Chain A
Amino acid sequence: MTEGQPFIRWDWIVANLDQIGLRLGEHVLLTVVAVGIGFLISFALALLIRRYRTLEGPIIGLGGILYSIPSLALFAMLVPFTGIKNPLTAEIALVSYTVLILLRNILAGFSSVPREVLEAADGMGYTASQRLWRVELPIALPVMVAGLRIATVTIIGLVTVTALIGLGGLGYFIVDVGYRRFFLTATIVGSVGAVLLAVFADRAFVVLQRALTPWAARRRAGG
């Protein structure tokens, strides 16, 4: 591009608001789908582990291995199977990153339920499924939501990397426009946009967590 270009070209931003909105939407969609599917898989795995305790080691171990693969390498490994510009390629990788974070938090949530609460529930005649849905899940919720918060913020960052396989949400501006065409304004739009989205998601989860757990907020004055 031309020399002496201004730090930010506001006119470009204004002219491309449509495109920015579209990419932001794509970013949110990729994130929500990844975290949503990741949560369903993790929750199912957590229930499986509750029933078969011995599975905990192998499942957490496998999750750890997936988590340790660099994102770029994982995308590269998937492309031959699912192809470039395919959201499936991105989602397989993104979901596999959420699973370790979410599974650990869901398990931690369940083990945060005090033993005496479980004993009382059994003693009063809850069935196993009533105990799970009406007692354990509500009490485990704050820890689970904390996991969703970490996973969501992580995935918002990772989605930008999927620009390398032709997707990327706001990452498109960083890689395709900013980097390949040396256009600083686009880099800033992409990066600042992704950061703001992450901060917004983080705050939103804090509010959600408080709303879901009114019982944890109030404390008796003076113990």
Chain B
Amino acid sequence: MQDAGGAIVAFEHVSKQYGSAEPAVNDLSLTIPAGEICVLVGPSGSGKTTTMKMVNRLIEPTGGRITIGGEDVMSLPAVELRRRIGYVIQQVGLFPHLTIAENVAVVPRLLGWKAARIRARTDELLALVGLEPRTFGARYPNELSGGERQRVGVARALAADPPVMLMDEPFGAVDPIRRDRLQNEFLRLQEQVRKTIVFVTHDVDEAIKMADRIAILQRGGILAQYDTPEAILAAPASDFVKRFVGADRGLKRLSLARVRDLTLIAPVLVHAGDAPGDARRQLDGEAQLEYALLVDDHEQPLGWIGRHDLRGDERIDPARAMPGPAPVQPETTLRDALSVMLASSVQLGVVVDERDRVLGLISVDAISEALRATAGVAPAGEPRE
């Protein structure tokens, strides 16, 4: 099945007011181009979740209009509209009484698809999010890990091939390392499906990483700035944006660059039981490497072997390996890579592909080099702090 891609989502003077209180969303106008990720970010009380929920009318606007592909969202009954919009929430909200396959099939079933079509689509989507349909299809949600459940949530949202997806802090409930992987997976998926995505987060770094465009909202639901992450970091539109993005905007630029932008260092690979001679000679030839990387038969990293453990003729003993920082992926931002590397005694990052096979290494030096380079290309006229 060919996915249909995204549709333009437009907010035109949209407001939401509860009683006579300060509006939750105030005269919001913005257009999200088809197939882009728009991240709504802001402090609490800025109306970012309200804004998102007005797209599928879980909250009804009190003024203005929202269109999807030119069509007013009020022109359809709310339940029909919602079946055409993917919805992913932080706690996932899988139905505990349905199997994984049945969970993914929820919207197609509401739409009355034929059983064979539902089955084919369910298998396709589970495979797309990296869950083997025959292994996972018949399980129940409580048999899955948090990360697996979140992937099922994404598959479920994509089931009826909606042009638009709403994602409410979808990776907020997982630990930072798993979050990085889920974000990377999702960005890879988005390259294929090209949906128009409204993504809510309170985390500026996540916004910078995920967004094609960021909408920064401030208290009272006022749009403070709407632009690409690069433009917002280079030229914040107001003091509020400057404060919200943080004083470390230079450092935040590390979130714009990815591990794949660096030249990877070739590692010295060793396997358990190898004679140490080869590895020792290779390390001697590499001034910047103090460690050889121990990998298993599938080229997946296990740990580091120090130069001093490669003396003599003693074969390589996996018990000597030191744990290193968690592996990163080509899509990981340099900021996240730096933070996992600084947390470990071995300050080398192992870059792995989606099957955890070693692609190469990155060093803290290489990242600071990249930081100097991006600082150098900052647009002229940027105020110095």
Q: How far is the CA of A127 from the CA of B156 in the complex (A)?
A: 18
State which of B98, B110, B145, B156 has its C-beta within 8 Å of the C-beta of A125. B110
Q: How far is the CA of A177 from the CA of B143 in the complex (A)?
A: 56
Q: Is A35 in contact with chain B by the CB < 8 A criterion?
A: no
Question: In the complex, how many angstroms separate the beta carbon of B314 from the nearest chain A beta carbon?
Answer: 35
Residues of A118-145 whose CB lies within 8 A of B = 118-127, 130, 135, 138-139
Q: Is B144 in contact with chain A by the CB < 8 A criterion?
A: yes
Q: Known contacts A120-B87, A213-B97; decide if A125 and B81 are in contact (CB<8 Å).
A: yes
Q: Is B358 in contact with chain A by the CB < 8 A criterion?
A: no
- CB neighbours (8 Å) of B83 from chain A are 124-125
Asked if residues A215 and B110 are in contact (CB atoms below 8 Å), the reply is no
Question: In the complex, how many angstroms separate the beta carbon of A208 from the nearest chain B beta carbon?
Answer: 16
- CB neighbours (8 Å) of B98 from chain A are 215
- CB neighbours (8 Å) of A223 from chain B are 145
Q: Is A114 in contact with chain B by the CB < 8 A criterion?
A: yes
Q: Is A51 in contact with chain B by the CB < 8 A criterion?
A: no
State which of A114, A118, A220 has its C-beta within 8 Å of the C-beta of B145. A220
- Interface residues of A, count at CB 8 A: 26
- CB neighbours (8 Å) of B142 from chain A are 215-216, 218-220
Q: Is B211 in contact with chain A by the CB < 8 A criterion?
A: no
Asked if residues A138 and B94 are in contact (CB atoms below 8 Å), the reply is no
- CB neighbours (8 Å) of A218 from chain B are 139-140, 142-143
| Chain B residue at minimal CB-CB distance from A221 | B143
Q: Is B79 in contact with chain A by the CB < 8 A criterion?
A: yes
Q: Is A116 in contact with chain B by the CB < 8 A criterion?
A: yes
State which of A117, A122, A219 has its C-beta within 8 Å of the C-beta of B143. A219
| Chain B residue at minimal CB-CB distance from A220 | B143
Q: How far is the CA of A114 from the CA of B90 in the complex (A)?
A: 13
- CB neighbours (8 Å) of A125 from chain B are 78-83, 107, 110
| Chain B residue at minimal CB-CB distance from A118 | B93
Q: How far is the CA of A215 from the CA of B92 in the complex (A)?
A: 17
Asked if residues A127 and B58 are in contact (CB atoms below 8 Å), the reply is no
Asked if residues A126 and B110 are in contact (CB atoms below 8 Å), the reply is yes
Question: In the complex, how many angstroms separate the beta carbon of B352 from the nearest chain A beta carbon?
Answer: 23
Q: Is B113 in contact with chain A by the CB < 8 A criterion?
A: no
User: How many contacts between A and B, using CB within 8 angstroms?
Assistant: 79
The residue in A123, A135, A139, A215 that gathers the most chain B C-beta atoms within 10 A of its C-beta is A123
Interface string of B70-106 (1 = CB under 8 A from A): 0000000011111100010111111111110000001
Asked if residues A124 and B107 are in contact (CB atoms below 8 Å), the reply is yes
- CB neighbours (8 Å) of A216 from chain B are 96, 142
Question: In the complex, how many angstroms separate the beta carbon of B168 from the nearest chain A beta carbon?
Answer: 9
State which of B56, B81, B110 has its C-beta within 8 Å of the C-beta of A130. B110
Asked if residues B87 and A124 are in contact (CB atoms below 8 Å), the reply is yes
- CB neighbours (8 Å) of B89 from chain A are 116, 119-120, 123
- CB neighbours (8 Å) of B25 from chain A are none
Q: Known contacts A122-B82, A127-B79, A215-B142; decide if A114 and B107 are in contact (CB<8 Å).
A: no
State which of B58, B80, B90, B141 has its C-beta within 8 Å of the C-beta of A123. B58
Q: How far is the CA of A117 from the CA of B106 in the complex (A)?
A: 13
Asked if residues A117 and B110 are in contact (CB atoms below 8 Å), the reply is no
- CB neighbours (8 Å) of A135 from chain B are 95
Residues of B133-149 whose CB lies within 8 A of A = 139-145
Residues of A74-132 whose CB lies within 8 A of B = 114-127, 130
- CB neighbours (8 Å) of A215 from chain B are 96-99, 140-142
Top 8 A-B pairs, shortest CB-CB distance: A120-B93, A123-B87, A125-B82, A116-B91, A125-B83, A116-B93, A220-B143, A215-B140
Which A residues have a C-beta under 8 Å from some C-beta of B?
114-127, 130, 135, 138-139, 213-216, 218-220, 223
Which B residues have a C-beta under 8 Å from some C-beta of A?
56, 58, 78-83, 87, 89-99, 106-107, 110, 139-145, 156, 166
22 A-B interface contacts by CB (under 8 A):
A114-B93, A115-B91, A117-B94, A120-B92, A120-B94, A123-B58, A123-B87, A124-B82, A124-B106, A124-B156, A125-B80, A125-B82, A125-B107, A125-B110, A126-B79, A130-B110, A215-B98, A215-B99, A216-B142, A220-B142, A220-B143, A220-B145
Supplied contacts A139-B95, A139-B97, A215-B99, 17 more A-B pairs, CB within 8 Å: A114-B93, A116-B89, A117-B93, A119-B58, A119-B93, A120-B92, A120-B94, A121-B95, A123-B87, A124-B110, A124-B156, A125-B79, A125-B80, A138-B97, A215-B96, A215-B142, A220-B143
